[in-house]
């Protein structure tokens, strides 16, 4: 029995072993994939991961610069919303964020603000809304259509230049109610419409400079760039400069910067405080051309950067060999086009047939100062001293007037031309013909004349092609700008500015622009206050003297105090006071807000003041 038991046990043990063996093998087999997986995981760890989660680093950017945009008042009605939207549209910051606060519904994302900015007069209307009955019936928030209408002034295009326009603006703006009851603009045409004054609060006029065709003088071209942020101004100025001359100047000014040149980096101050202009894609240029280009850049930046030197580079290396940094003082003063007044000898005045000095009232030496020629008007060429200057005199003779030319203190004069009536003559810098004092412009009996002296001093008179000015009416005053590129006339009471275009000896006035016909319609005289500014005397009682920007956007009336309308003559130059003549005499003013002061040395009515030019 015992043996049997043992046998049985062994039998069982044997069975158990038989069962246990495959079990062990199967567990081993199960472990193989686990091991392989482990190996693969290890191998995977040893390689560079393909993807990780972001890890925050400790050099953060500090506080966000995002500023909160003021929201329109909750209780503003539809008309207020439209009005405020027009005002808010002037601020381009953050893609017109403040204007977008007035938008709702589909317009919020759909409104595009790029393109030209349309400027309207300060007084604009919003006609009362008319209900959209269908929307009201549908139970949806009512949509009101507000008509916005105003006086068109012009447009600031994508090149930041202003182009005047006339007429009225009429726009339909849909205003709807948001769920919270506040009104928002829900539908409007693309593009920015704002008033001129609000526009000028957000945009700053800057002059970018091009050259006249003879590359002798820098010609300003007015652009409007966003004021804020101020640190971005230089970049915007350079961007504007690189865009080339604006349309009115397009055939009268040249730029040395090829059209496809861009900036390599943004125009910013570097660590040393210099303003870095790094140009890209510059072709090969002569050193002189580079210098002229530098002159354009430095002059253009001078309006927004008074202190920092300008480092001009091309692809990271100085543009002008051996001279990386420039200041406006490094440029020859002749580039500025004779706008600087000779302080010690500040112009003349024609009074009672005599030419007197504005400085002390003393007469000009010679017959011109002694009423020999019956001088009613005159012009002095732009020179450093009176003694070097040439004089152009309009003298009264029987049945008409004569245009005479003489050197400053000469006893004799040359009669160049005779006609029934001359406008005050205007000296051209005459780059083409040998310098100041060799070219003279005037209007004789409505015809624009150009008198040119040859090398021997013989004068010849040609007619200037002024057909472009013909539609504006008879020309009663003409002033060449002191750089000789622009010409401003009073035609039919309006101020018209054109450019002088010389084409194979023939000279024409082209691209006429009427400046602010809404504000200036009775002009009597004008003079160049600067290269891009005019001082206009009018017979309008409310605005006897007006300062106009040459592009026609800005119109700033001078203080009317002390003046007696109408004014009859005006002269102006960059540095000196504007001098006007009215019935009471001569008055001078340095600023548009200043009260007119009597010119101290010359008194009496009928005097015609004239600065060189």
Partner 1 sequence: MTLASRTNRLAGRAARLARRARPVAARTAIFIRRRWVAFGELWRRSLQVRVVTSVLALSSAVVFVLGMVLQNEITDRLLTAKEQAAEAQAATAQRTVNTELRGVNPGSDDLPSRLANALNSLTSSSSDDQQQVASSAAGAFEPVLADAAGQPDGQVVSAGPYDNVPAQLRADVQADKAAAQITTVTTAGVSTTYVVVGAPITSASQPMQLYLLFPLTSEQHTIAVVRDTLVVGGIVLVLLLAGITNLVIRQVVRPVREAVGIAERFADGHLDERMRVVGEDDMARLAEAYNQLAESVQTQIHQLEEFGQLQRRFSSDVSHELRTPLTTVRMAADVLHASREQFPGGLARSTELMVDELDRFEALLGDLLEISRLDAGVEELAPEQVDVRGLARTAADSVRGIIGATTRIVLDLPDEEVPADVDARRVERILRNLLANAVDHGEGEPVRVTVAANERAVAVAVRDYGVGLRPGEEELVFNRFWRADPSRNRRTGGTGLGLAISLEDARLHGGRLEAWGEPGAGACFRLTLPRHPRDEITDSPLPLPPADASPRVEPPPVELPPVEPEHPAEPEPAELDAAAERGQVAEVDATSPDPETLEQRTEAEPVARDQQAVLTPGNRPEDGG
Binding site for partner 1 (CB under 8 A): 4, 7, 10-11, 39, 42-43, 45-67, 92-97, 100, 108-111, 113, 225-226, 228-233, 235-236, 239, 262-266, 268-270, 278, 280-281, 315-316
Rounded Cα distance between 547 and 556, Å, is 5
The residue (of 307 and 412) whose beta carbon lies closer to partner 1 is: 307
Whole-number CA gyration radius for the chain: 38
The residue (of 103 and 548) whose beta carbon lies closer to partner 1 is: 103
> Which residues is 277 bridged to in the sheet?
312
The residue (of 51 and 504) whose beta carbon lies closer to partner 1 is: 51
Whole-number minimum distance, CB 126 to partner 1, in Å?
24
The residue (of 110 and 604) whose beta carbon lies closer to partner 1 is: 110
Token representation of residue 522: 């009775």
Exposed, middle or buried by CB within 10 Å (0-12, 13-18, 19+), for 108?
A: middle
Whole-number minimum distance, CB 85 to partner 1, in Å?
15
Whole-number minimum distance, CB 119 to partner 1, in Å?
16
Nearest to 256 by CA among 282, 224, 225, 232: 282
Q: What is the DSSP string of 219-248?
A: EEEEEEEE-SSGGGHHHHHHHHHHT---GG
Largest CA distance in the chain: 171
The residue (of 89 and 428) whose beta carbon lies closer to partner 1 is: 89
The residue (of 57 and 329) whose beta carbon lies closer to partner 1 is: 57
Token representation of residue 160: 């930041």
Q: Is residue 229 reached through a cis peptide bond, with omega within 30 degrees of 0 on the bond before it?
A: yes
The residue (of 164 and 234) whose beta carbon lies closer to partner 1 is: 234
Whole-number minimum distance, CB 94 to partner 1, in Å?
5
Whole-number minimum distance, CB 229 to partner 1, in Å?
4
Strands 275-280 and 310-314 come out as parallel
Whole-number minimum distance, CB 99 to partner 1, in Å?
10
For 473, 536, 547, the CA distances from 523, given in Å and listed in that order, are 12, 7, 12
The residue (of 2 and 23) whose beta carbon lies closer to partner 1 is: 2
> Which residues is 495 bridged to in the sheet?
490, 515
Rounded Cα distance between 425 and 378, Å, is 6
Strands 523-528 and 268-269 come out as unpaired
Whole-number minimum distance, CB 534 to partner 1, in Å?
28
Total Cβ atoms within 10 A of residue 333: 10
- Secondary structure (3-state) at 530: coil
The residue (of 7 and 541) whose beta carbon lies closer to partner 1 is: 7
Quickly tell me which residue has 């060799």 as its tokens. Answer: 438
Rounded Cα distance between 613 and 603, Å, is 23
User: Could you give the dihedral angle defined by the CA atoms of residues 361, 367, 371 and 376, in that order, rounded to the nearest 10 degrees?
Assistant: -80
Whole-number minimum distance, CB 315 to partner 1, in Å?
5
Whole-number minimum distance, CB 153 to partner 1, in Å?
20
CB proximity list for 394: less than 8 A, separation 6 or greater = 375, 376, 377, 378, 401, 402, 403, 404, 422, 424, 425, 442
For 468, 474, 514, the CA distances from 471, given in Å and listed in that order, are 7, 9, 11
Rounded Cα distance between 395 and 355, Å, is 11
Whole-number minimum distance, CB 125 to partner 1, in Å?
27
The residue (of 49 and 167) whose beta carbon lies closer to partner 1 is: 49
Length of the chain, please?
613
The residue (of 269 and 465) whose beta carbon lies closer to partner 1 is: 269
Q: Are 413 and 405 in contact (CB under 8 A)?
A: yes
Beta strands in 157-233 (DSSP E): 162-164, 168-177, 183-187, 192-195, 203-211, 218-226
The residue (of 61 and 167) whose beta carbon lies closer to partner 1 is: 61
């Amino acid at each position: 029995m015992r043996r049997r038991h043992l046998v049985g046990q062994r039998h069982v043990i044997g069975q158990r072993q038989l069962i246990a063996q495959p079990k062990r093998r199967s567990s081993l087999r199960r472990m193989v994939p686990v091991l392989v997986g482990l190996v693969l995981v290890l191998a995977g760890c040893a390689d560079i991961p393909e993807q990780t989660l972001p890890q925050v680093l400790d050099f953060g950017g500090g506080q966000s610069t995002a500023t909160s945009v003021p929201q329109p008042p909750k209780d503003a009605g539809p008309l207020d919303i439209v009005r405020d939207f027009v005002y808010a549209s002037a601020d381009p910051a953050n893609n017109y964020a403040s204007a977008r606060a007035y938008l709702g519904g589909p317009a919020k994302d759909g409104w595009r603000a790029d393109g030209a900015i349309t400027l309207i007069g300060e007084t604009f209307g919003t006609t009362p809304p008319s209900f959209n009955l269908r929307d009201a019936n549908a139970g949806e928030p009512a949509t009101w259509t507000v008509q916005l209408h105003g006086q068109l002034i012009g447009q600031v295009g994508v090149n930041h230049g202003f182009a005047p326009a006339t007429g009225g603006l009429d726009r339909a703006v849909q205003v709807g109610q948001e769920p919270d009851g506040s009104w928002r603009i829900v539908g409007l045409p693309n593009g920015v419409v704002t008033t001129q004054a609000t526009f000028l609060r957000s945009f700053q006029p800057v002059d970018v400079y091009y050259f006249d065709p003879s590359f002798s003088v820098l010609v300003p071209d007015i652009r409007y760039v966003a004021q804020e942020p101020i640190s971005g101004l230089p970049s915007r100025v350079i961007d504007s400069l690189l865009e080339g001359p604006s349309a009115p100047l397009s055939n009268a000014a040249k730029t040395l910067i090829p059209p496809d040149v861009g900036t390599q980096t943004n125009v910013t101050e570097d660590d040393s405080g210099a303003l870095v202009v790094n140009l890209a894609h510059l072709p090969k240029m002569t050193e002189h051309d580079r210098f002229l280009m530098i002159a354009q850049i430095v002059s253009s930046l001078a309006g927004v950067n008074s202190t920092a030197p300008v480092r001009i580079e091309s692809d990271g290396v100085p543009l002008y060999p051996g001279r990386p940094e420039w200041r406006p003082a490094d440029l020859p003063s002749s580039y500025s086009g004779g706008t600087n007044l000779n302080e010690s000898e500040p112009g003349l005045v024609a009074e009672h047939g005599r030419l007197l000095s504005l400085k002390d009232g003393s007469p000009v030496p010679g017959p011109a100062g002694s009423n020999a020629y019956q001088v009613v008007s005159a012009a002095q060429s732009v020179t450093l001293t009176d003694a070097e200057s040439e004089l152009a005199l309009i003298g009264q003779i029987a049945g008409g007037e004569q245009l005479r030319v003489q050197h400053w203190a000469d006893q004799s004069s040359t009669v160049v031309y005779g006609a029934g009536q001359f406008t005050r003559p205007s000296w051209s810098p005459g780059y083409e013909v040998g310098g100041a004092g060799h070219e003279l412009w005037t209007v004789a009996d409505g015809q624009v004349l150009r008198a040119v002296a040859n090398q021997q001093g013989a004068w010849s008179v040609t007619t200037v092609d002024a057909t472009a000015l013909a539609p504006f009416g008879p020309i009663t005053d003409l002033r060449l700008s002191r750089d000789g590129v622009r010409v401003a006339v009073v035609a039919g009471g309006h101020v018209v500015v054109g450019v002088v275009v010389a084409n194979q000896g023939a000279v024409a006035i082209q691209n006429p622009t009427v400046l602010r016909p809404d504000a200036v319609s009775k002009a009597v005289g004008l003079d160049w206050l600067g290269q891009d500014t005019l001082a206009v005397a009018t017979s309008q009682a409310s605005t006897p003297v007006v300062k106009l920007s040459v592009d026609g956007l800005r119109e700033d009336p001078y203080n009317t105090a002390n003046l007696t309308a109408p004014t009859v003559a005006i002269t102006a130059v960059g540095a000196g006071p504007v001098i006007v003549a009215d019935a009471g005499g001569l008055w001078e003013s340095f600023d548009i807000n200043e009260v007119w002061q009597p010119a101290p040395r010359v008194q009496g009515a009928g005097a015609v003041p004239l600065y060189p030019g």
